[in-house]
Amino acid sequence: MTNITKTNIATPPGSYEAYLYRYTNTLTNQQYVGIHKGSVDDAYKHSSTNTDFQKVFSDSKSKLSFEVLYFGNFNEMLEIIHCFITNTTDPQLIKNLIWKSARILSG
């Protein structure tokens, strides 16, 4: 993608099941975090159904940074993303429909 202007991928361990990633719109500081069950080297980009994020992601004029923050098994990534989302001080920064999932995970 030509709109990804910065990439920072943590060094992956020898084996892992999933990873947690973050896209940041560097023009607005809006963020999208997600997890993916698979390899950081596969063709996966995101699975967001958030229309605002989809527009930004597909707009060649947008400026995005992409980071892989954590690696581990899928359940660990679910726990980390839940903590990441529920502990943010500004929920408007997370442009992700996982808020509903986070509420379900928290009971």
Three-class SS state of 100: helix
Residue 103 has pLDDT above 70, yes or no: no
Residue 33 has pLDDT above 70, yes or no: yes
Mean pLDDT along residues 69-84: 90
Answer yes or no: are the C-beta atoms of 14 and 61 closer than 8 Å: no
Sign of CA dihedral 35, 101, 103, 26: positive
pLDDT at position 102 is 43
Among residues 20, 39, 23, the alpha carbon closest in space to that of 82 is found at 20
